[in-house]
Amino acid sequence: MNILMLGWEFPPSISGGLGVASQGLAEALAAKGHHVTFLLPKKNQTQVSQNVQLVDASALTPDIDFWKEKKVYSETLAETSIGTLLMPYLAPEVFEEVREVTRKRVALKSTEESELLEQIELTGTYEGNLHAEILKYALLAVQVAQQTKPDVVHAHDWITFRAAVLIKKTFGTPVILHTHSIEQDRNGVYAQQHVMSEEKTGFEQADRIIAVSQKLKYAIVGAYGIPSDRIEVIPNVLRIKGSKSPSTNPKHIAFVGRLTHQKSPSIFIDLARDLSSKGHEFTYSIIGDGYLRGDLESRVIASNFSNRVRFTGFLERSELLKLLNTVDLLVVPSASEPFGLVALEAILKGIPVAAARGIGLGEFIPSIPQVERWDHYSYVQLIERLMTDDHYREYITSHCLKEAKKLTWEKATTLTEKCYQKAAAK
């Protein structure tokens, strides 16, 4: 099939798991013989692929006239022809033939869309004039679809939904919206209404929807009233070889994720405080960035265990995978975790995970130990057991790894192909 994939991220330039998952699926589909074009808002030199055609929207020459409003009007012209045989001393008017001809004319009038194409610069970030960038990306996506003539459009998360819907309205191309999280997952009570509006419009117009877990599927149905039979559940997959040797004296505990309320890094600090107060001399890494970082750093500075806590900030994927080799336990205390790609990365590296109950990955790896995020007593007990009980630690690590290996690209791409077939058959 000829697939046009729309995504805002592609490794190594990513903000989280979205880009990693998008790249993985695109590469896996291309490896099965599909032609995959991946449209990025702005591509840099580090973003490369041997099998997927990466297109930089910011480098495209906008077709301004395509988006201008076309005004058709009639114009009557008087055409005069002069005879080829002219006689001396006779006026030319004697040989003139005059007739009226009506012709249709097309005038192009500037529109908001055509002006945006000329004025807005695509940065590919989530900052600045994001609303205008999303619209320009959508207009350029239509231009790419006109050239590539895809069989299906596959869009990743809300930021590309408008582009997918516009392509469908323009050309009638089937649209699949791949959802890694919804706004209520990301921001809870702070959910932004304009983002929810983008999601709602996209879901209502989509031919099929892919959710990365049953948990996310139920969230889409509950938040937006989408019929459940239009949503397919396809888990994320990773190819990572285990490179960490078993720890004989585990010390290092890590949190990885955006420093936002969704990911609950404050709970991680609370757990570190409680473990320290019980005499454990573990070290802690908080890997990621976000609007809570300043408050979290202030809390740690005011504590009596600040010398054991390190804030790394956001790390590029290669740096993250390297640092994970030093980690003995990953704690995932998220208020909402529709899938949990970093947890899968840890498990594939042989690192146990202590998760808050409800992590989407737990649907596919049921051996992940989970506790209620608000139950600090039970959470501390779980961490203590994973860090001090060698037999239990080995049991959890081996069982989780065995279950994780059942998540394969062969299964994921087969399910995706079936999803495409259902969308095209509508």
Note whether 47 and 15 are within 8 A (CB): no
Using CB atoms within 10 A of its CB, is residue 97 exposed (0-12), middle (13-18) or buried (19+)? exposed
pLDDT at 244: 61
% of the chain residues with pLDDT over 70: 86
Distance between CA atoms of residues 137 and 160, nearest Å: 8
From the CB of residue 401, how many other CB atoms can be counted at a distance below 10 Å?
18
Asked if pLDDT for residue 90 goes beyond 80, the answer is no
Calculate mean pLDDT across residues 132-159: 93
What domains lie within the chain, and their CATH numbers? 2-63+113-237+413-424 (3.40.50.2000), 69-109 (no CATH), 252-404 (3.40.50.2000)
Calculate mean pLDDT across residues 290-310: 93
Q: Which residues contact 267 (CB under 8 A, 6 or more apart)?
A: 333, 356, 373, 376, 379
pLDDT at 282: 96
Asked if pLDDT for residue 177 goes beyond 70, the answer is yes
Calculate mean pLDDT across residues 388-410: 95
Angle of helix 341-348 relative to helix 390-404, nearest 10 degrees, comes to: 110
- Predicted confidence (pLDDT) per residue in 26-81, tens digit: 999 999 999 999 999 999 898 899 999 999 999 988 777 776 655 544 444 545 55
pLDDT at 118: 66
CA 19-186-323 angle, to 5 degrees, is 50
Q: Of 238-242, 291-295, 296-300, where does mean pLDDT reach its minimum?
A: 238-242
Distance between CA atoms of residues 165 and 200, nearest Å: 12
pLDDT at 74: 46
pLDDT at 213: 97
SS3 category, 15: coil
Distance between CA atoms of residues 426 and 293, nearest Å: 47
Using CB atoms within 10 A of its CB, is residue 298 exposed (0-12), middle (13-18) or buried (19+)? exposed
Joined tokens for residue 420 = 């495409």
CA distances from 357 to 125, 254, 255, 363, 373 (A): 32, 18, 16, 11, 7
Model-level pTM?
0.86
Note whether 287 and 277 are within 8 A (CB): no
Asked if pLDDT for residue 127 goes beyond 60, the answer is yes
Asked if pLDDT for residue 223 goes beyond 90, the answer is yes
Calculate mean pLDDT across residues 82-96: 50
**Which secondary structure element, helix H or strand E, spans residue 195, and what is its range?**
helix 193-205
